[in-house]
Amino acid sequence: MTEIPNSGSEDTAPWVELGEQLRMWRSATGMSLRDLGAAVHMDWAHIGRMERGQRKIPGWVVGRLEEALGTSGALRVKWEEANRKSGTESRDKDISADRQEGNPIDMDALRRTLVMGVAGMSAAAALPIRELEQLRGIVDTTLGTPRLDDWHERVWEYAVRFASDPMDHLVRDLGTDILAVHEQMQSAPGDQVSNWLAVNAHLTEFMARAIGSAGHIQEARGWWATARQAAHNSGDPDIVSRVYSNDGMHCLYHKRPQVAIARARVALESCQGRPTRNATSACAVLAQANAVLGNAAAAQSWLHKHADIFKHLPDEVKAERLTAGGYPEAAVLHTRSYVFTHLGKETEGRRAQELALAAYDPGDTRQIALVSLHQAMLSVRLGDVTEGVEHARLVTQGMAPALLTTFVASMATDVLRSIPPKHRTQPEALELKKILTLPRGASSLSV
């Protein structure tokens, strides 16, 4: 969205006046900022900045505000007036306030890069992927850009690729596609804005997950922040709940349980009481994070809620195991295994671990490894330190570096942290610690 610099200037005064009028209309309805944000599917903080004249009101949200506030066309009249007075034309045919100005392509520089890059192919040099994509963009400008359907199909393909693709391939392709989407959003017709924003939100979330699963925690945080903003800008509560629930799970495995709880609560609020895949995922985060914090009552309460929502999911969601958008029964059993393991409950934990392992296909290497590490951790917590640590060592040592993602390494670290101080110098413990310092995460799927 467009920030308004110099709020006291003549150019910005119309937006300040419109913001004050917007606040009066909202107050007259008795709605809070959060209420209005939920009604128009927009971050309430953005609306607050609009009311203070710090942000322009984007054209795509005017109709939603009119409907929510019942202004009968008055808001649109005022909005068009503010555009005229500030010298900025109404740009309903592009993404207006939600866009960023890109740098024009330097055609000579692009030509030189392509010539040098392609000439070096015989020497096994890397293809100039980004420049080739810029070239394709120039061609698309003449012929017409790919349809939105093509991009939605690409989003689905990424969801499938998360199961097996090497992380560097995924990040490279995502970077290229995010750039392409950004360039095409510059001139997106008004009736397609929300769809482009949705594609952008999905791709930035995939990038955050891929980078985070590879162990680049700090970089991933930046991408998660971008993904959350992109989700809010999409205006789709399902995308908001998806991004926040997945971010919450990553926060959990990155040892930030309190932040994980906060993210999951936003995800649940965005589900608006509907029994969705994202609501189920958010409950899983809340159950697991509370278990990590030792809040047994809260953890088990969310575990029951998690199972209850799962029962109401559509059959096709439960049956979907190919893409990251499904929620099979194995995920429910995995959550139970995690919770009872971290709560140190022997009977429930062992049973949950057995059921979870039985639910996975033989090829689900990482998921099986995670539950096996649950077994190791529970053994350590119950006093079988040598057996538990050795089991964890064998599990992690038997995995290729490409499969030892952040989630697997995080769970193995939990095993290490469970070891009593007097046992931490055992050969098995030292070997496990050594394994966890090796490069990891070449594959993108965390769980």
Question: How high is the pLDDT of residue 131?
Answer: 56
171-209 pLDDT, tens per residue?
A: 878 888 888 888 777 777 777 778 888 999 999 999 998
What superfamily would CATH give domain 13-90?
lambda repressor-like DNA-binding domains (1.10.260.40)
Residue 412's nearest CA partner among 360, 375, 362 is: 375
* Residue 3: other Cβ atoms inside 10 A: 10
| Three-state helix/strand/coil letters over 109-165 | HHHHHHHHHHHHHHHCCCCCHHHHHHHHHHHHHHHCCCCHHHHHHHHHHHHHHCCCC
307-339 pLDDT, tens per residue?
A: 999 999 988 889 887 666 789 999 999 999 999
Say which residue, 415 or 398, is predicted with more confidence.
415
Say which residue, 285 or 26, is predicted with more confidence.
285
| Domain ranges for the chain | 13-90, 184-435
Please state, in angstroms and rounded to a whole number, the distance separating the CA atoms of residues 166 and 150.
23
In this structure, are residues 386 and 432 in contact, taking their beta carbons and an 8 Å threshold? no
Backbone φ and ψ of 3, nearest 5°: -75, 150
Please state, in angstroms and rounded to a whole number, the distance separating the CA atoms of residues 356 and 359.
5
**Is the pLDDT confidence value at 98 over 50?**
no
Please state, in angstroms and rounded to a whole number, the distance separating the CA atoms of residues 212 and 210.
5
Bridge partners, 55 (sequence order): 3
* Residue 210 CA to its chain's centroid (Å): 10
416-426 pLDDT, tens per residue?
A: 999 999 999 98
Say which residue, 120 or 237, is predicted with more confidence.
237
Residue 199's nearest CA partner among 128, 249, 259, 145 is: 145
11-24 burial, b at 16+ Cβ within 10 Å, e below that, comes to ebebbbebbebbbe
| CATH label, 184-435, candidates 3.30.70.330, 1.10.3720.10, 3.30.70.100, 1.25.40.10 | 1.25.40.10
Residue 66's nearest CA partner among 80, 84, 55 is: 80
332-385 pLDDT, tens per residue?
A: 999 999 999 999 999 999 999 999 999 998 888 889 999 999 999 999 999 999
